[in-house]
Structure 1
């Protein structure tokens, strides 16, 4: 028994309104190209040039420290530009650096004193510049001490465990042959406690650093009979051996002009405090922070001249490229003339012009190719229908089936009569019409052969 033939696929649906079909051909090409450009631009925005964050976190110091006070001033200035700065309390520079180096800690930047990064991998960090001095001041009982080595065998207050003062003091003492376990007693106290112990005779010397060496405390200690401040005669040597140190001077009378305290110039050594950030800090935020630092630290003070800070001098951390650019040229034109967020949008738009320009030329070449593909695909649909009709006629079809094939062919021809074809494809259009006539002739020939066996 002869198996029945599988049913023939139905005739494809040809567009009834060819004006809309042509419009769709044009539109589809532009839509595809536009979608491609938008996708690439969105990728550039997301990966290469994201918007500045509205909230950043800074690790500072204890609430009564100069670190915390400075961070609070930054917070107020950044708030004027719509940026929220969260200030975290900490034990000081050591904890600040640990937080920055720990990826689990959501800290973007911190104030860090020089001299505490030895042996640590800080390649993931960058500096926005130094912002103020954190001087080392050594008070001792007696007179004529101008070298740390002269304190060997004494009782020295060097700072509490884990503090930046202690780390720095141990390095300086070690350079002078004094270390833990020797004849020198190293007492873990600093600040007011160390000064009190010195005045009461519990220690013979106290190494103060940063907040513990305030103008008020230095005056109080120097007014006590029998207590002197050490003059670092070898300050230049310290700055060579420890690159993060600077030499600064206390001129005569700078603490108290009336009583001429100190009576002579006192040479001190001092690390600087830097704004240290992770390398992914947004450039616009970097500019705002340096601008805030200029407002907060740019005035003259006890230890600095006007305009000395912030400074881009490299210390223990690499100076960021954005910071170097800011120190050389200042804010860009957009940020000088527009509000921060509007300037940010304009700046990012300029960045996006490059990938858009790069995409524009291949995109313009892609549009004609897409349109050509759409037109040819419509022609190929007609050819697919013609092939199906011709195969149906060549099969062992009945008279009724051949009549239905002729009806389908009439539908194709009627659709072609309404088809609007661009002049560039007129040759393909007329070849298609000839092939319709060819298939019609084949149908007629097959019908005659079947009726005259």
Structure 2
């Protein structure tokens, strides 16, 4: 399904023009100043997510660390519609690196799922897991929604069109024996907009794949009491039959205001690239991402751990360069 040319360009001393956003992520430095420690390497672009999600700010921090710590590497980021769009951008050669949900990525590599049926993303490799994507169905307490069955007839924002979040919503609803098209009144927007709708009473619930705790949900809970709707054990089992990358996770009581304890499902947000990325660069990207995690400010950066870098990888291979670092803890 691949088309277009890979955007990995070697910097050979000429002037490289970056977008304003890329300059901002590089500290508004000149290309010569932002080539890392020593200069003379490659310009890479990473697709992240919407500005209201986790991918965008966290991806920006990781890109800054790569640019400052790896000799000759300059990484810029771009906002996107997250997982589904990112996988398509990677497949089309429009970007070099992406963040995406691991379960959806595994399906895409096999040409499965609504967005990739018969159109596999053929060249995709993992560089390591980033953090848990926790699927959170957040409902206002006044809506009376306590289970997924209670969503019937309700107004629900299911996530951006074509996003991994929206696809996960469909999978969960179908596992409950419900029709996601007929049983709820759907709205589709990024979570910043969905949160505003929930706060203003325009929707009864909003579904999102976010880190936990999610700042946007915490902000809502200060004025609008909310609950995170649980996913039952039997539905988790059904989900895992089709996608073994799903795992269970508890949402402790009080995570959002006075919310009660709930149980939901999670995937990994994973860093992906292609086999065209050379082994040394891939090794150093993986090394820097994990070894510099303690220097990052985003709350979920604490989940960047070597021990879980290869967890629930599914059918996608680890890049040989990244595997070298995970096996030896060195790129020498």
TM-score by length of 1: 0.53
Report the structure, 1 or 2, having the larger strand content: 2
What is the aligned partner in structure 1 of residue 164 from structure 2? 164
- The alpha-carbon distance between structure 1 residues 164 and 123, as it changes in their structure 2 partners (threshold 3 A), is same
Alignment counterpart, residue 268 of structure 1, candidates 264, 276, 279: 264
Find the residue that maps to 1:116 and give its secondary structure.
Answer: helix
**Which runs of 5 or more structure 2 residues have no equivalent in the other structure?**
1-39
| Aligned partners of 1:74 and 1:289 also within 8 Å | no
2-structure distance, mates of 1:255, 1:205: 14
- The alpha-carbon distance between structure 1 residues 56 and 189, as it changes in their structure 2 partners (threshold 3 A), is closer
1-structure distance, mates of 2:224, 2:42: 54
What is the aligned partner in structure 1 of residue 245 from structure 2? 244
What is the aligned partner in structure 2 of residue 3 from structure 1? none
- The alpha-carbon distance between structure 1 residues 217 and 172, as it changes in their structure 2 partners (threshold 3 A), is same
CA shift for structure 1 position 101: 0.8
What is the aligned partner in structure 1 of residue 329 from structure 2? 330
2-structure distance, mates of 1:218, 1:109: 28
- The alpha-carbon distance between structure 1 residues 303 and 71, as it changes in their structure 2 partners (threshold 3 A), is closer
Find the residue that maps to 2:265 and give its secondary structure.
Answer: strand
**Which runs of 5 or more structure 1 residues have no equivalent in the other structure?**
1-51, 336-453
Report the structure, 1 or 2, having the larger helix content: 1
| Aligned partners of 1:155 and 1:184 also within 8 Å | yes
Find the residue that maps to 1:174 and give its secondary structure.
Answer: helix
Find the residue that maps to 2:167 and give its secondary structure.
Answer: helix
What is the aligned partner in structure 2 of residue 175 from structure 1? 175
1:130-163 residue CA offsets vs partner (Å, 9 max, x unmatched): 1112211112244875542332232211112233
CA shift for structure 1 position 289: 1.1
Equivalence map 1:116-155=2 (5 Å): 116-117=104-105, 118=107, 119=112, 120=116, 121-142=120-141, 147-155=147-155
Let me know the Cα RMSD of the aligned residues. 3.2
CA shift for structure 1 position 280: 2.0
- The alpha-carbon distance between structure 1 residues 297 and 135, as it changes in their structure 2 partners (threshold 3 A), is farther
- The alpha-carbon distance between structure 1 residues 183 and 89, as it changes in their structure 2 partners (threshold 3 A), is closer
- The alpha-carbon distance between structure 1 residues 180 and 232, as it changes in their structure 2 partners (threshold 3 A), is closer
| Aligned partners of 1:114 and 1:245 also within 8 Å | no
1-structure distance, mates of 2:324, 2:237: 32
> 1:97 and 2:87 equivalent?
yes
TM-score by length of 2: 0.70
1:190-247 residue CA offsets vs partner (Å, 9 max, x unmatched): 4132233233333222112227x76333223334566322133427526623323232
What is the aligned partner in structure 2 of residue 78 from structure 1? 66
- The alpha-carbon distance between structure 1 residues 309 and 296, as it changes in their structure 2 partners (threshold 3 A), is farther
| Aligned partners of 2:282 and 2:319 also within 8 Å | no
CA shift for structure 1 position 306: 7.4
2-structure distance, mates of 1:69, 1:302: 11
